[in-house]
Amino acid sequence: MPFDYTSPLNYPPNSQSSIRRFKYTRVPTVADYKNFQAGDMWLDTSSDDWYICCYKDSTSAIWRRVAGTGAPAEEFLPDAGTSPVVPNATNQITIVGGNGILTTGGLNQWTTDMQSPFEGSFAFENNLTVGSPVTLTVENNDVNVASSAGLVASSEPLAGDAFVLLEIDGTENFSMGIDNSDSDYFKFTNSADPSSGNEIFMVDPSLDTFQYYYSIINQTATVAGGPVIETINNLDNTVGTSNALIDILVGGATAGDPFVHVEVPTGSQYSIGIDNSDTDAFKITDGGSPSAGNTLFQITAAGAPSFPTAPLDVPSGGTGVNSITDHCVIVGSGVNPVTELAAMVDGDLVIGSTGADPVIAQLTGGVGISITSGAGSITIDATGSGLAWVEVTAATQAMAIATSYGCNRGGGVTFTLPATAAAGSVMEIVGMAGIWTLAQNAGQTVHIGNQSSTTGVGGSLTATNAGDCIILRCITANTDFRVQALVGNITVV
């Protein structure tokens, strides 16, 4: 470590340790802490600058330049102009006022005053005459076309807003100007600057959007016998693009409703618009907004219309009722609500009645006709003649009325009477191959000459030859059958 021994005065008064001086050809850094102590001095011989160690610990040191011929002891960096600003030969830096700025020195301080009333923040105050205004007039009396007069409020792109503030009592205020923080929109707000408070209207820099945020258009007039009219008239006639419209918008799904409200002094009112709080349904209500009052008509966002509070009457194209019974038939009643007929069952028909509402009834079979009702079906059979032909080759066969069955199975066929048969119904069995047997259902009996089968499932008729035939007619609906024609020798059980 090179010590500087050029001065023998290493012990200042009242000091118990020497002032150690070192010299190197470089500037000291925070890494120069080993073997140094606070108070050591360092001479950079490359620039003749002196540094003093102000502090050190086990990992670093703090060195400060105190004087020298190579550079000033202190300096600062300004926003513009020559940088850095350094002291003069007497180690001084002078603060000088610029345009409209006055600097004044004092004990341990300096004061900066604004000189021009048209630069910076200033105020015109009326402190003398009661009832008189304070007026700032900017007037250019030159008549040249380019001789304008105006007040200029400007701001840099990253600075604050450029605006005019109107204020009463320090609390009631309005601002008009450019909101530098919001894409340079021109705004009129109820606050101390365009960046705060409520926006009353706004214009974007391209001048293609002008937005109202509050109801500030309030046209009130008294026109005897005539209307007060606001007209939006686009006189251009370009096909498909020259529209005339009013846009009513809100800020989003959690905002209020966009709507039109009409009202008369008696208190009657209606609102037409979108209920933002009810899945964006379009509504007509008798309240102050689409979210208030009774909903008279609405269309959901999916396009489904409805009349929630009362049914639409018949003269308006409705039914006059809130609901209609499931599966029933309705008939008209003039201008009155529609009439419901009773719920229908299998085989029911709506049958007209002159001068009265139709009735629900079923068909009745006449002579030689049988009627069979089903779910959504009615079967009409002729019972006197014209039997249908069915050739049977299976071991069993359920019989139906108005049908002729051919028994064509070598192992024989068991036929079972129909459970339902109208009186007069006819059916037959024709022997072809094998022996047939006629079985009965519960409660049924077959009568043949002076004999009768056992009533119920225990009774039966059986052929004795493959060529035996039999014709049966129902004489009591569903239960009693008469053999009216027979070929062969039949066994009756």
C-alpha distances (whole Å) from 128 to each of 15, 132, 133, 177, 276 are 68, 9, 11, 31, 55
Sign of CA dihedral 191, 197, 199, 204: positive
- Only one residue has tokens 């929630």, namely 308
d(CA 490, CA 464): 6
Contact 19, 12 (CB under 8 A): yes
C-alpha distances (whole Å) from 72 to each of 25, 80, 478 are 18, 20, 131
CATH of domain 381-492: 2.60.120.640
Contact 460, 433 (CB under 8 A): no
Which of 303, 311, 262, 260 shows the shortest CA–CA distance to 280? 303
Angle (CA) 217-223-224 rounded to 5° is 160
If one counts every other C-beta atom within 10 angstroms of the C-beta of residue 354, the result is: 4
The pLDDT, as a whole number, for residue 54 is 92
Kindly give, in sequence order, each residue whose CB lies less than 8 Å from that of residue 423, ignoring residues fewer than 6 positions away: 474, 475, 476, 477
Q: What is the pLDDT of residues 323-335, one digit of tens each?
A: 788 888 888 888 8
Distance from first CA to last CA of the chain, Å, rounded? 142
The pLDDT, as a whole number, for residue 14 is 45
- Only one residue has tokens 């070598």, namely 410
The pLDDT, as a whole number, for residue 82 is 79
C-alpha distances (whole Å) from 332 to each of 203, 233, 312, 339 are 59, 47, 15, 6
Contact 100, 113 (CB under 8 A): no
Q: What is the pLDDT of residues 312-360, one digit of tens each?
A: 778 877 787 777 888 888 888 888 888 888 888 888 888 888 888 898 8
Virtual torsion, Cα 80, 86, 88, 92, nearest 10 deg: 90
Q: Is the bond preceding 2 in cis, omega lying within 30 degrees of 0?
A: no
Residue 279 φ/ψ region, left for φ over 0, alpha for ψ in the -120 to 50 degree band, beta for the rest: left
Give kind and range of the element (H or E) at residue 283: strand 281-285
Domain with CATH 2.60.120.640 in the chain: 381-492
The token duo for 102 is 């006055």
- Only one residue has tokens 């214009």, namely 203
HSE, CB side, 13 Å, CA atoms: give it for residue 307: 12
Contact 340, 357 (CB under 8 A): no
Alpha-helical segments (H) within 70-214:
none
The pLDDT, as a whole number, for residue 17 is 53
C-alpha distances (whole Å) from 246 to each of 235, 258, 259, 276 are 16, 11, 11, 19
As separate numbers, helices (DSSP H) first and strands (DSSP E) second, the chain gives 0, 34
C-alpha distances (whole Å) from 94 to each of 13, 71, 85, 105 are 36, 18, 10, 11
Name the phi and psi angles at 315, rounded to 5.
-60, -25
C-alpha distances (whole Å) from 260 to each of 247, 293, 305, 390 are 11, 14, 19, 76
CA–centroid distance for 350 within its chain? 47
Q: What is the pLDDT of residues 250-296, one digit of tens each?
A: 878 788 899 998 888 877 898 999 999 888 899 999 888 999 988 88
Which of 73, 108, 78, 66 shows the shortest CA–CA distance to 92? 73
Sign of CA dihedral 45, 49, 55, 61: negative
Output the tens digit of pLDDT for each of the chain's 493 residues. 555 544 444 444 444 456 899 999 999 999 999 989 999 999 999 988 889 999 999 999 999 888 665 555 556 677 777 777 777 766 677 778 776 677 887 777 778 776 555 555 556 565 556 666 777 777 777 777 777 776 777 777 777 888 888 888 777 888 888 888 888 888 888 888 888 888 777 888 776 566 665 555 566 778 787 787 778 888 888 888 888 888 888 878 788 899 998 888 877 898 999 999 888 899 999 888 999 988 888 898 888 887 766 677 788 777 877 778 888 888 888 888 888 888 888 888 888 888 888 988 888 877 567 788 888 888 877 665 578 899 999 999 999 999 999 999 999 999 999 999 999 999 999 999 999 999 999 999 999 999 999 999 999 999 999 999 999 999 999 999 999 999 999 999 9
The pLDDT, as a whole number, for residue 13 is 47
d(CA 216, CA 200): 8
